[in-house]
Chains A and B, each alone.
Chain A
């Protein structure tokens, strides 16, 4: 997947959403694709220093918690670190941060902060665009 560009929008903040976003992103980056993720609204939880350590299961799906432990899936904290090691661009939405009164230092180190136009500029020539 070299010379393939992947643009992902993460707009939701449960544990399910986090795995969808980070598993696909890291698999793409491990296959040599260029990957960028735009975190907006609840999606910001996925890169929030504290929140991403303890993301909720979706309402009514709490019983899957045990399955996550048994399947030995990596933690979201770990996957976010792997994403950064693989060179994935993590872009936090400035507008959401303003609305939620969050500063950049509330998020994991190394993220970028940008607006919709920043992501659009990145995504305009993407080969694969995913939204979660």
Chain B
């Protein structure tokens, strides 16, 4: 998977992972893939909901220890 940009949102609490993801996503082009790393446990459902509301696709998500990782394809 070719990732266009990686966001480190580790240590950030709600709503910052979403806010940060939105800002970076705005700079990407349709079809680009954004990789997000977060430790906020709420990010799992929040990023899914955020992606859904914008029509973006979550290609994959993993949990490595405390770190949640998401790969999101821009609509």
Do A and B make up one complex? yes
As a 0/1 sequence over residues 8 to 50 of chain B, the CB contacts with chain A under 8 angstroms (1 = contact) are 0001111110110110000000000000000000000010011
Known contacts A71-B13, A73-B13; decide if A86 and B53 are in contact (CB<8 Å). no
Q: How many A-B residue pairs have CB under 8 A?
A: 40
Can you sample 11 A-B contacts with CB below 8 Å? A1-B53, A2-B53, A26-B15, A27-B19, A30-B18, A30-B21, A31-B54, A32-B53, A72-B12, A72-B13, A74-B13
Interface size class of chain B, counting residues whose CB lies under 8 Å from the partner chain: 10 to 19
**Which residues in B have some Cβ–Cβ distance to A below 8 Å?**
11-16, 18-19, 21-22, 46, 49-50, 53-54
Residues of chain A lying within 8 A (CB to CB) of residue B50 = 27, 30-31
List residues of A whose CB falls within 8 A of some B CB: 1-2, 23, 26-27, 30-32, 71-74, 82, 86
Asked whether B12 lies within 8 Å of A32 as measured between CB atoms, the reply is no
User: Shortest Cβ distance from B22 into chain A, in angstroms?
Assistant: 4
The distance from the CB of A51 to the nearest CB of chain B, in whole angstroms, is: 22
Partner of A2, one of B12, B22, B46, B54: B54
A27 to B47, CA, bound (A): 11
Do A23 and B54 have beta carbons less than 8 Å apart? no
Which residue of chain B is the closest to A4 with respect to CB atoms?
B53
**A30 and B19 in contact, given A1-B53, A2-B54 (Cβ under 8 angstroms):** yes
Return the contact of A30 from the options B11, B12, B15 (Cβ within 8 A). Answer: B15
Are B54 and A74 touching (Cβ within 8 A)? no
- What residues of A have a CB within 8 angstroms of the CB of B18 in the complex? 26-27, 30-31
